[in-house]
């Protein structure tokens, strides 16, 4: 049989397992392979290959390989729990990003002490290196089998499958679980495992069902990688924006308003700096700022489609017997701004931007600091253009977003999402839009991945995934093409030949949400914001009362220059003041002023980044600060 491997065709005698083929290619591949794609379908390494096909071996470096690895680890954990608590009932145990979980119905409430017992039993199962064997049963037989084993949740899952379905099971030692697979060849493949936490989870996510216990865990092929991941999580805890927001007196979410953040004076400084920067770059890029109402009537939301498709996430009320909704997004208001007058082809493109406050009803269990809230400010912009302007406008938007992310030191990846199955619009329009997005990225020489079929129903899109200093990714910026909204609202412009044409619309954001972006920045910088962003840029620290007058003079001079400066005139030792300014307030610069500085008319500057102290004249230091702020470093 002929096997295609990354374009290279090899011949093998049939039949062979995928693992045997890997071993014949190299011992390194045999050792690293976790699963295989057979003509694009992910399967286990024990799959027998008996025909011509294309093979792609998956390792832990591949997302699909990691999912197979961790899904097998979830079965190992389930086997361990059943060994320790035989009365526990099994629910589901999928692989998720960075790990896996398994849901159990067990009378014993799992504690952190139980984690160690479960991990020890998992180690025994791994060491036993049980082969993992797939088997199949007809639906009725599968139901009877799970009933006999006393697994009601598995029975319910099988009963939801079609009558003619063939149900697959995976067995390792004395443990068998219902599963579609695929899995690793044996339990011995699973090396380093750690249970992270336990949480409550309703069966099938419904509050009407029983609350189960969900054990979250993760697994890696090497203990060093697991240790590094755990260390990263510890660092992430230190950087948690919710804790830092309170410690730095920036922002918080109170019990009186779940999902509705409060911004304190220093947090407003940070927020206003970001908004001022947003306005500056948008003015330069030819955008005009608009403001649309926070509440609009039902008729608008029916025209936009939100009333029928998004109403459960909208806050609604009645005014003078008319239904109104607080806006969950800014787009319909932006369209009404375009509608205000007639436009010629010469006027296009029309670029308008809005820092618009939107409200969306999120379930309480999904709320998370500034990352998931019920009201937030989107830095929306909408561009109305002719078809021939698509590529150039997309390039302009891309370059603007790229500029923003570079200022904050973010690296990012780009994803192009294409036409989904439930799309609307003609083939011609989709081809035009996709070609415009792809052509713009190609013109700019951008490296991107194509996410087939994941575009919006109204058009393709480009998504930007930021990577922070801990390697975590955040989806922030997006560029979406839309034909449907201009159609729903009957938007037009007068073409060169005098006919009326429909514009194409771009939806795009840079920050995504001001609140969420501030949360990301807080964690990325661990609260140590660069000088241009820092709510307090300088702290003036007099050594004693003898230098207090000089400190006040320096403080007033810096304040007059428009710098964000604080004077710490508390009756505390200078060492305490320095530690507090650097470690608690995380101020970029501390000016230590004593008798020596008074005599020399200088300032001793302690740099937060290096913890070194340098002497400057005040004019020299002011010039240094002004340059840093201008360069946004």
User: Which of 213, 378, 438, 484 is labelled catalytic?
Assistant: 378
pLDDT per residue as tens digits for the range 563-608: 999 999 999 999 999 999 999 999 999 999 999 999 999 999 999 9
Q: Residue ranges of the chain with pLDDT lower than 50?
A: none
Q: How far apart are CA 352 and CA 197, in angstroms?
A: 46
Per-residue pLDDT, 310: 87
pLDDT per residue as tens digits for the range 526-573: 999 999 999 999 999 999 999 999 999 999 999 999 999 999 999 999
Asked about 507 being catalytic, the answer comes back as yes
Per-residue pLDDT, 454: 87
User: Which of 106, 331, 476, 510 is labelled catalytic?
Assistant: 331
Six-digit token string for 281 = 């770059």
Q: How far apart are CA 138 and CA 165, in angstroms?
A: 7
Q: How far apart are CA 444 and CA 440, in angstroms?
A: 6
Per-residue pLDDT, 473: 86
Instruction: Let me know: does 480 contact 202? Beta carbons within 8 Å.
Output: no
pLDDT per residue as tens digits for the range 131-157: 999 999 999 999 999 999 999 999 999
Per-residue pLDDT, 470: 78
Q: Which residues contact 440 (CB under 8 A, 6 or more apart)?
A: 390, 391, 392, 394, 395, 398
Asked about 631 being catalytic, the answer comes back as no
Angle at 572 between CA 603 and CA 560, to 5 degrees: 40
User: Which of 507, 577, 586, 608 is labelled catalytic?
Assistant: 507
Q: How far apart are CA 511 and CA 553, in angstroms?
A: 39
Asked about 282 being catalytic, the answer comes back as no
Per-residue pLDDT, 365: 83
User: Which of 380, 482, 568, 585 is labelled catalytic?
Assistant: 380
Asked about 208 being catalytic, the answer comes back as no
Asked about 461 being catalytic, the answer comes back as yes
Per-residue pLDDT, 422: 78
Q: Which residues contact 281 (CB under 8 A, 6 or more apart)?
A: 400, 403, 404
User: Which of 374, 461, 524, 582 is labelled catalytic?
Assistant: 461
Per-residue pLDDT, 177: 97
pTM: 0.81
Asked about 53 being catalytic, the answer comes back as no
Per-residue pLDDT, 471: 79
User: Which of 382, 419, 524, 606 is labelled catalytic?
Assistant: 382
User: Which of 66, 239, 359, 360 is labelled catalytic?
Assistant: 360
Per-residue pLDDT, 498: 96
Q: Which residues contact 524 (CB under 8 A, 6 or more apart)?
A: 239, 408, 409, 410, 468, 469
Angle at 439 between CA 437 and CA 443, to 5 degrees: 120
Q: Provide the 8-state DSSP code for 187.
A: G
Asked about 378 being catalytic, the answer comes back as yes
């Amino acid at each position: 049989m002929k096997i295609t491997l990354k374009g290279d065709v090899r011949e093998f005698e049939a039949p062979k397992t995928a693992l045997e083929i890997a071993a014949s290619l190299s011992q390194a591949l045999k050792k690293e392979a976790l699963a295989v794609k057979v003509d694009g379908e992910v399967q286990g390494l024990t799959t027998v290959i008996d025909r011509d096909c294309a093979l792609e071996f998956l390792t832990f470096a591949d997302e699909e390989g990691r999912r197979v690895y961790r899904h097998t680890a979830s079965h190992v954990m389930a086997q361990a729990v059943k060994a320790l608590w035989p009365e526990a009932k099994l629910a589901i145990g999928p692989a998720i990003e960075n790990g896996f979980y398994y849901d159990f119905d067990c009378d014993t409430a799992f504690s952190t002490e139980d984690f160690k017992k479960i991990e020890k039993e998992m180690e025994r199962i791994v060491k036993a290196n049980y082969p993992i064997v797939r088997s199949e049963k007809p639906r009725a037989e599968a139901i009877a089998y799970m009933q006999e084993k006393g697994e009601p949740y598995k029975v319910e899952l099988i009963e939801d499958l079609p009558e003619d379905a063939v149900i697959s099971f995976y067995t390792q030692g004395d443990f068998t679980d219902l599963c579609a697979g695929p899995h690793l060849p044996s339990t011995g493949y699973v090396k380093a495992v750690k249970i992270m936490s336990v949480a409550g989870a309703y069966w099938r996510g419904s509050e009407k069902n029983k609350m189960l216990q969900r054990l979250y865990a993760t697994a890696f092929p090497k203990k060093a990688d697991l240790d590094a991941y755990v260390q990263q999580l510890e660092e992430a805890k230190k950087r948690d924006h919710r804790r830092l927001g309170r410690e730095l007196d920036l922002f918080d979410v109170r019990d009186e308003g779940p999902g509705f953040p409060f911004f304190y004076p220093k947090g407003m400084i940070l927020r206003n700096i970001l908004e001022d920067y947003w306005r500056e770059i948008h003015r330069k890029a030819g955008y005009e700022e608009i403001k649309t109402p926070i509440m609009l009537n039902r008729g608008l939301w029916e025209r936009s489609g939100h009333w029928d498709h998004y109403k459960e996430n909208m806050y609604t009320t009645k005014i003078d017997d008319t239904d109104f909704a607080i806006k969950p997004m800014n787009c319909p208001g932006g369209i009404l701004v375009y509608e205000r007058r007639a436009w010629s082809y010469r006027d296009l493109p029309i670029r308008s931007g809005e820092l618009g406050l939107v409200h969306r009803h999120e379930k309480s269990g999904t709320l998370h600091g500034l990352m998931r809230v019920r009201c937030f400010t989107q830095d929306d912009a909408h561009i109305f253009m002719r078809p021939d302007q698509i590529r150039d406008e997309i390039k302009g938007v891309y370059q603007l977003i790229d500029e923003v992310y570079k200022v904050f030191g973010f690296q990012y990846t780009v994803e192009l999402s294409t036409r989904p199955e439930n799309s609307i619009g003609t083939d011609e329009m989709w081809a035009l839009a996709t070609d415009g997005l792809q052509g713009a990225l190609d013109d700019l020489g951008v490296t991107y991945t194509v996410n087939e079929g994941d575009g919006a129903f109204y058009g393709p899109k480009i998504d930007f995934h930021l990577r922070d200093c801990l390697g975590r990714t955040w989806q922030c910026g997006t560029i979406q093409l839309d034909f449907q909204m201009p159609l729903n609202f009957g938007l037009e412009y007068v073409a060169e030949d005098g006919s009326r044409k429909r514009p194409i619309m771009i939806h795009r954001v840079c920050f995504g949400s001001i609140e969420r972006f501030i949360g990301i920045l807080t964690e990325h910088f661990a609260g140590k914001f660069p000088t241009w962003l820092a709510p307090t840029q300088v702290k003036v620290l007099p050594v004693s009362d003898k230098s207090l007058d000089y400190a006040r003079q320096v403080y007033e001079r810096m304040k007059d220059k428009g710098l964000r400066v604080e004077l710490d005139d508390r009756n505390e030792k200078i060492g305490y003041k320095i530690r507090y300014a650097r470690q608690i307030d995380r101020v970029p610069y501390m000016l230590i002023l004593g008798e020596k500085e008074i005599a020399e008319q200088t300032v001793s500057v302690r740099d937060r980044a290096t913890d070194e102290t340098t002497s400057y004249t005040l004019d020299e230091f002011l010039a240094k600060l002004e340059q840093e702020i201008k360069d946004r470093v």
